[in-house]
Chains A and B, each alone.
Chain A
Amino acid sequence: MSQERTIPTLPSVNPVSRDEGLMLYEDMVLGRAFEDKCAEMYYRGKMFGFVHLYNGQEAVSTGVIRAMRPGEDYVCSTYRDHVHALSVGVPARNVMAELFGKATGCSKGRGGSMHLFSSEHRLLGGYAFIGEGIPVALGAAFQTKYRRETMGDESADQVTAAFFGDGTTNNGQFFECLNMAALWNLPIIFVVENNKWAIGMAHERATSQPEIFKKASVFGMPGREVDGMDVLAVRTVAQEAVARARAGEGPTLIECLTYRFRGHSLADPDELRSKAEKEEWLARDPIKRLAAYLTDKNLVSADELKAIDRRIQEVVEDAVKFAQDSPEPDPSELYRYVFAED
């Protein structure tokens, strides 16, 4: 069992309207249902390679990305990228088709689970090597500042969010980029999804200072710690960070305390995490939590939520059908996309 931290509570969370509540709920349910379907498809031999599911961490993707301007702001992910892609608005069809390796996939079947891209949705990509997306995200943030300050582009106020795990914060690119982001006051949010484990390496066995948010302070950057199982808390902290970045006030590091409900990947036997630990976190399911909040506050009825669940199930079934029916990439296009001219 890896050490438990006290779950932080915010003094207050920003209230959500009924529509916002429904939007957040729908996004999280989509993430969950999509990933469950992936597991099924993987075991049925429809998708291949390493597939890292996001179950349990939905409040982070939804809480942060839906506090941004999807399609305008930039998002950079890791190999655990399906749900980030969905939150930025890449259609479930094109994500599923990519996992099936089809020509209609968001990366045209060239990328696979760990390499989802969509320039249209400003998804900078899924990156399979630990930490390598952080500098890329930094570059997008630099680009925004550059356009504003050297090209006089007043509309350049985009914010970039870089998502990565606890294990990744021990990699040099994390520190190097925190330094440069603070040094140049870049409009970026570093979102650490601390799910306590890096495959089989418990977080506190890998780092001398397990409280990752504190690492921001040495760069003169605000570091926030937030309950990553509470979408409203994540959203509140993210809104503040987005506003700061957009206003030219610089970067923020957000550490979301979260947990993955499945193994590291679908190939992981998941033997190291204790039953007690898993149960404790399963009981904190972010989707159930938001549902309870919305119904308690009488913003929505349980039936309305059930209707969303059903509709999302259809979206996911439709995505599978689309992926299934889509063509394989054209073998004569094997070399396409190596160079910009292709």
Chain B
Amino acid sequence: MAETLLFNALRAAVDEEMQRDPTVFVLGEDVGHYGGSYKVTKDLYKKYGDLRVLDTPIAENSFTGMAVGAAMTGLRPIIEGMNMGFLLLAFNQIANNAGMLRYTSGGNYKIPMVIRGPGGVGRQLGAEHSQRLEAYFQGVPGLKLVACSTPYNAKGLLKAAIRDDNPVLFFEHVLLYNLKEDLPDEEYVLPLDKAEIVQRGKDVTILTYSRMRHHCLAALKTLTQQGYNPEIIDLISLKPLDFDTIGESIAKTHKVIIVEECMRSGGIGAELTASINDRFFDELDAPVLRLASQDIPTPYNGMLENLTIVQPQQIVEAVQKMVALRV
């Protein structure tokens, strides 16, 4: 496929899966004729028709419930949240039905569906369009939470999510859609439950995901110049967490820094910290250090916004401190 932008990698994943399986369809606001707010479904309606690339009215709760009903009866819906934040209106259908219904029904129904779309903190979009939703959804039983971060993993993970028989919340980041990468020509599918080792190292384990992976890589440049050798792991699966990969890394470095865009309170990092303490406490040389975004609505002002989310320089300092065990 040669050099591909992330949104086109997602588009290719949807296209390939729709081609492969006639029960796969897309629904959401402006996914059809308009092509999706970030063009992930551009022109797919021309190939698959209006029913398979279904433009819905602006009725998040109801079209999400409709996708649940379609999934229960054998289709494989992919919902696009125009912005994932709008799916707060569908919280009931996502939590009570997508997440819990299989269990509540005693296994009568399975719900193979993907809920995907742009999220995270963009550039000065204001609080409502700069949500950190993974914190809200991680408590829902029965949901898988996946965050993509590169064109390569976006494509392979989305294909896996579409094939998965469970409801998958698939997080894309508004600021990553134009990342470019050479993609293989041949088909590939990535495992949904495996973390990705982005950089092998030995000094400290950095656990991150989504856009913060790229902040960690920015910090890595400085850190390498200073002689540090951190291991960077992209979690990929935010629920369930890949404790095999995480544990192996901790057994090597004995130090953990979490870098996330999520809220500090009750976020992915909070859960991760608690679980690492539960599972790997004896391996740790220092308490887990958590870099998270501030517990405030994301402010509009650019300078305040930068203060709200983690910056590469903070990661550099955290590694310096952690390696010197000044924590």
Residues of chain A at the chain B interface (Cβ within 8 Å) = 74, 76, 105-111, 115, 117-119, 124-125, 127-129, 132, 134-146, 149-151, 172-173, 176-177, 179-180, 183, 336-342
Whether A139 contacts B68 by the Cβ 8 Å rule is yes
Give 16 A-B pairs besides A143-B69, A143-B73, A338-B141 with Cβ atoms closer than 8 angstroms.
Answer: A76-B69, A107-B106, A107-B108, A110-B103, A110-B106, A119-B105, A137-B69, A139-B65, A143-B74, A144-B73, A146-B51, A151-B22, A172-B62, A173-B62, A340-B165, A341-B165
Number of chain B residues whose Cβ lies closer than 8 Å to a Cβ of chain A? 47
Whether B62 contacts A337 by the Cβ 8 Å rule is no
CB-CB < 8 A to B37: which residues of A? none
CA distance in complex: A193, B278 (Å): 51
CB-CB < 8 A to B74: which residues of A? 143
CB-CB < 8 A to B66: which residues of A? 135-136, 138-139, 142, 177, 180
CB-CB < 8 A to B73: which residues of A? 74, 124, 139-140, 143-144
Binding-face segment, B90-98, B122-130, B154-162, B293-301: B90-98
> Which 6 pairs of residues, A with B, have the shortest CB-CB distance?
A139-B69, A135-B65, A108-B106, A340-B165, A117-B105, A176-B62
Interface assignment of B57: CB less than 8 Å from any CB of chain A: yes
Whether A106 contacts B106 by the Cβ 8 Å rule is yes
| Nearest neighbor of B69 in chain A, beta-carbon distance | A139
Report whether over half of chain A's contact residues are helix, strand or loop; otherwise say mixed: mixed
Whether B61 contacts A108 by the Cβ 8 Å rule is no
Partner of B62, one of A110, A143, A145, A180: A180
Partner of A139, one of B61, B70, B107, B142: B70
CB-CB < 8 A to B75: which residues of A? 143, 146
CA distance in complex: A76, B53 (Å): 26
CB-CB < 8 A to A106: which residues of B? 106, 108
Q: Chain A CB within 10 Å — which of B75, B105, B109, B110 has the most?
A: B105
Q: List B72-107 residues whose CB lies under 8 Å from chain A.
A: 72-75, 77, 92-93, 96-97, 101-107
CB-CB < 8 A to A145: which residues of B? 51
CA distance in complex: A115, B96 (Å): 11
CB-CB < 8 A to A336: which residues of B? 107
Q: Chain A CB within 10 Å — which of B25, B62, B110 has the most?
A: B62
CA distance in complex: A125, B97 (Å): 10
Whether B102 contacts A136 by the Cβ 8 Å rule is no
Whether A107 contacts B65 by the Cβ 8 Å rule is no
CA distance in complex: A106, B104 (Å): 10
CA distance in complex: A119, B74 (Å): 11
Whether A115 contacts B104 by the Cβ 8 Å rule is yes
Whether B63 contacts A135 by the Cβ 8 Å rule is yes
